[in-house]
Structures are given as C-alpha cells and as structure tokens.
Amino acid sequence: MIPLPTNSEILADSDAVARAAAERLTALCAAAPDRPIAVCLSGGSTPKRLYALLAGPDYRGALPWARLHWFFGDERHVPWDDAASNVRMVRDAFADAPIPPGNLHGIPANGSLAEDTAAYEAALKAFYGAAALDRNRPLFDLVLLGLGEDGHTASLFPGRAAVDESRAWVAPVPEAGLAPFVPRITLTFPALASAYSVLVLVTGEAKRTPLQRLAEGEDLPAARITGPVTWLLDRAASDT
C-alpha cells in the first residue's frame, strides 16, 4: 500500500468515489440554502462519472440547479466544440441536467491565450465581487481536482511558471506538459485553495505512480494543493 496524502479516503471503486463527491456537494448545497453555490470543475476523464451521476436520478432532484454555478479549474485553449475541450466534456457528461445557460462559466477560447486568461480572471472577480481573495470568504464552495500521471493538477504541470503564480487567479500555459499538447488556461493555486472544500478525485492503477512520488516527497504540482482538501481514492489507485 502506498503511503497516502493526509485526509485521504479510500473507496471501493470509481463509482464509489463519484458518489462520495456527489454526497459532499449535496451537503454543501444543503448547508447554504439561500445563496449561489460555486463549483470549480475538473477536466479530464475521471470526473465524467461524477457529472453524469449528478445529472442522473440519484442526485438530480437533490441539487438546487438554479443557484448552482459551474466554473472550470482549467481548459484546453480550443473551441468549445473541440473533442479536447473541457466545456464539451462537461456538457456531454451533464447531458440534460437543468443547468441555466448563464450558470455554466466556461473558460473562453475565442481570443488570444492572454486575452482569454484575462477575461476569465475578470469573470471570476465579477462573480466573487472583489479583486482580492478574502480567506474568510472563499471563492468556491467546492473545487474538484484530478491528478495527472506526471503529478500535475488542473493545468499546473511540472516546471511550468503557472505552478509558482501566487497573485493572479488565472494563468496561461502555452505548452502543456501532457497530452493534449495544446495551450491551456488554468486557475492558480491561490484560486484553487479558496474553497470551503477541495476534493481530489484519483482512480485507477495508473495513478499509483504519481501517488508514490507524492508520498516520497517530490515537489510535484499536486503536492501544492492546499485548502480544506480531501483526497478521494479508489482501491486501484491506492493499491489496497
């Protein structure tokens, strides 16, 4: 068994991981019954199961869709109808979930990388209502993150400048460290940490290696995930 990050929960399989995350979201919504709820979505393949679960019969009726706002932790800088787009993946996974059009806040991909990065930071600040993060008033209710096989999270790849960004909320990543090798836009660690709850969803045997490297103390980007973090791992990833 791999020594696991602190605040790890081991679940039987990827379905159980998705369900645990869904339970966390519904609890957060119930605890804040009279205000907008902001969720920062992860891209990639792991969270697809969660998004479909939320839109499905087990959770659809429990969620306050009208006041749920969905943001993105990162995006591939491609058109939203591109197969690599996280907006496309999320729209497909949420299928016919009753998300009001103005509640899905995709990272723009129609200007330059710099323009779209600045536009998303402005959109986040407009939603938050301030230009500086207040540690007593998180930007997000829930941040969902994944773990790449190289130890990245969001689009914060090893060796890229965005990993060290400590002021901006959003940063450009001209060269991705893993496929798809397209320019990326990512939230930075200060923005990702500004949350009531941060869940890192890690499933599958392929994630044993980055988990092992984290356990050995490597300064991988995912080692810098902070805030109220819980790692939700399945047995395959945690080698248990």
Shortest Å distance, C-beta 136 to ligand 6PG: 28
Told to check if 29 binds ligand 6PG by CB under 6 A, we report: no
| Per-residue DSSP letter, 59 | T
What mask of x and - would describe binding to ligand 6PG in positions 127 to 146, judged by CB under 6 A? -------------------x
198, amino acid identity? V
Restricting to residues 161-220, which ones interact with ligand 6PG according to CB under 6 A?
none
For residue 159, the tally of other CB atoms under 10 A from its CB is 10
> Of the listed pieces 31-39, 42-50, 108-116, 212-220, which binds ligand 6PG according to CB under 6 A?
42-50
Strand, coil or helix: 239: coil
Judged by CB, which is closer to ligand 6PG: 59, or 72? 72
Q: Indicate which single residue of 45, 112, 226, 240 sits in contact with ligand 6PG (rule: CB under 6 A).
A: 45
Judged by CB, which is closer to ligand 6PG: 30, or 212? 212
Residue appearing with tokens 């009531």: 196
Cis peptide preceding 180, ω within 30 of 0: yes
Shortest Å distance, C-beta 61 to ligand 6PG: 27
Asked if residues 99 and 41 have their Cβ atoms less than 8 Å apart, the reply is no
Token couple for 226:
């902070």
Judged by CB, which is closer to ligand 6PG: 74, or 121? 74
Which distant-in-sequence residues (6+ apart) come within 8 Å of 106 by Cβ? 72, 75, 80, 86, 87
What mask of x and - would describe binding to ligand 6PG in positions 75 to 114, judged by CB under 6 A? -----------x----------------------------
Told to check if 43 binds ligand 6PG by CB under 6 A, we report: yes
HEC string of 95-121 equals: CCCCCCHHHECCCCCCCCHHHHHHHHH
Question: Which is nearest to 239 in space by CA: 208, 202, 194, 195?
Answer: 208
What mask of x and - would describe binding to ligand 6PG in positions 51 to 80, judged by CB under 6 A? ----------------------xx------
Binding site for ligand 6PG (CB under 6 A): 42-46, 73-74, 86, 146-148, 152-155
